[in-house]
């Protein structure tokens, strides 16, 4: 039974478009994450003094600390942005495609 449904889903041009859209979005988000993380790591590997620069005149906090906490926050925020879109927009589209195939 699932077999026939799969074939009908695949023959729907909306399905290919949907899969491409969601996959592109996943890849863009993954690349953003990888750039953020490896950017930070490479900065540590190649430019330690920059990360140790003080935030302001007479301050102790270095620029690397808010940046590090920033990477953690970006990680959380990117995840929620993706999940929010996937669980609303993408799931609605997927449901519509499945409905067309099963009616």
Partner 1 sequence: MNPALKFLYVAAAILLTGAAGMAVAAGADLGQTAKQVTNWTAIGMFAIFVGATLWITKWAAAKTKTAADFYTAGGGITGFQNGLAIAGDYMSAASFLGISGLVFASGFDGLIFSIGWLVGWPVITFLMAERLRNLGKFTFADVASYRFAQTPLRSFAATGTLVVVAFYLIAQMVGAGQLIKVLFGLEYIYAVMLVGVIMMMYVLFGGMTATTWVQIIKAVMLLTGATFMAIMVLYQFNFSPEALFTKAVEVHSKHDAIMGPGALINDPISAISVGMALMFGTAGLPHILMRFFTVPNAKEARKSVAWATTWIGYFYILTFIIGFGAVVNLIPNPTDYFVGGDIAKGLKGGGNMAAVHLANAVGGNMFLGFISAVAFATILAVVAGLTLSGASAVSHDLYASVWRHGNVDSATELRVSKITTVILGIVAVLLGIIFEKQNVAFMVMLAFTVACSANFPVLFMSVLWKNCTTRGAVAGGTVGLILSVALTIVSPAVWEAALGNPKGSALFPYASAAIFSMTAAFFVIWLVSILDNSKQAQKERALFDDQLTRSETGVGAATASTH
Comparing C-alpha atoms, which of 30, 25, 32 is closest to residue 93? 25
Task: Kindly list the distances between the CA atom of residue 70 and the CA atoms of 43, 61, 76, 85, in Å, as whole numbers in the listed order.
Answer: 14, 14, 10, 22
- Reduce the DSSP state of residue 43 to 3 states and report it: helix
State in angstroms the smallest separation of the CB of 52 from partner 1. Answer: 3
Cα 10 from chain centroid (whole Å): 26
Comparing C-alpha atoms, which of 99, 85, 97, 73 is closest to residue 26? 85
Counting contacts by CB under 8 A, is residue 100 touching partner 1? no
Counting contacts by CB under 8 A, is residue 5 touching partner 1? yes
State in angstroms the smallest separation of the CB of 13 from partner 1. Answer: 14
Applying CB under 8 A, which residues contact partner 1?
2-3, 5-6, 9-10, 15, 18-19, 22, 26-27, 29-30, 33-34, 36-38, 40-42, 44-46, 48-49, 51-52, 59-62, 64-65, 68-69, 71-73, 75-76, 78-80, 82-83, 86-87, 91, 94, 97-98, 101
């Amino acid at each position: 039974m699932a077999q026939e449904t799969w074939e009908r889903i695949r023959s729907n041009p909306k399905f290919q478009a949907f899969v491409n859209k969601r996959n592109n979005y996943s890849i863009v988000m993954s690349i953003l994450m990888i750039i953020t993380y490896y950017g930070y790591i490479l900065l540590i590997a190649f430019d330690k003094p920059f990360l140790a620069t003080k935030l302001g005149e007479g301050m102790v906090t270095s620029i690397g600390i808010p940046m590090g906490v920033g990477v953690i926050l970006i990680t959380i925020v990117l995840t929620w942005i993706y999940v929010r879109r996937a669980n609303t927009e993408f799931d609605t589209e997927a449901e519509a495609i499945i409905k067309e195939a099963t009616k």
